[in-house]
Amino acid sequence: MAKRIISTGRGGTGKTSFIALATKYLSSSNYPSLLIDIDGDQNLADMLGVDLEKGKVRTVLDILFDIQKGKAYEELKFMPMPQKIEYLFHSDCIYESEKFDLISLGVKWTNGCYCLPNDLIRGIIPKMANSYKYMLIDTPAGLEHLNRKVMSEVDDLFVILDPSLKSIKTAQRIKKLAEELSIKYENFYLVANHRFNEALEEYIQNIEGASYLGKIDYDANVEKYNLVGRSLLELPEDSPAYLSVGRILAKAGYRSN
């Protein structure tokens, strides 16, 4: 079973950058990771230099929209709906590369809730976990993804913080909501983004019920790579951001592959 890692927190703190840098640290050709982007903004693919459209990889919501509207898939018309959805998920929705496979939930496909795609992810993803060493999940801002219980069991929750009271309160609410919804996790970690100074770091080191692991260092190349659409996996090995994420993950018991 894959080690299940979730990056969460309020918007703009660096949740997606953390997942991309963690992928660089944890993944190899021998041990590819499974990445799941459940954020409708779909930034993770961009940070990894992946063009899903060019690769002819569809989002989960794309295939569900077509099924709902009765588009195409004539060759599957006699297949029961659950089997049809699972078949299309595996055939159309997985981007495969040497170091990682990527699944993107996609942009909201119609009016209403995310119930069907959430049920799909909850049903299929745990089966896939047996084929990977690590599963890294990038979440949207806020707490809605917890309410949807896309993952009811994870190993480590990494909450990325910016230096604001709102960010700290979000972390506290995430912990409370996870417990209220009976979402099982082994560890609840706090990670500071590069905007923290030493004095502000001291303030968050003793938040009750959480373990503070450290700060993601500022790296101008992260901003540059994001701007031009270059993969963060191509950052040099001496990248301050990459090295700091490596130290954070090492404190949590992870070792680079």
Q: Where are the alpha helices (DSSP H) in 129-219?
A: 144-147, 165-180, 198-204
Q: What is the mean pLDDT of residues 52-77?
A: 80
- The region of weakest confidence among 22-31, 39-48, 190-199, 247-256 is 39-48
Architecture of domain 3-251: 3-Layer(aba) Sandwich (3.40)
126 SS3 class: helix
Q: Where are the domains of the chain?
A: 3-251
Tokens representing residue 80 in the block: 């029961």
Least confident of 34-43, 66-75, 219-228: 66-75
DSSP-derived letter for residue 242 is H
Q: Give the pLDDT band (50/70/90) at residue 57.
A: very high
* From 80-89, 114-123, 236-245, the region with the lowest mean pLDDT: 114-123
CA-based end-to-end distance of the chain? 17
pLDDT value at 68 more than 80: no
Residue with tokens 């953390």: 18
The identity of residue 94, as a single letter, is: I
Contact residues for 206 (Cβ-Cβ < 8 A; gap 6+): 212
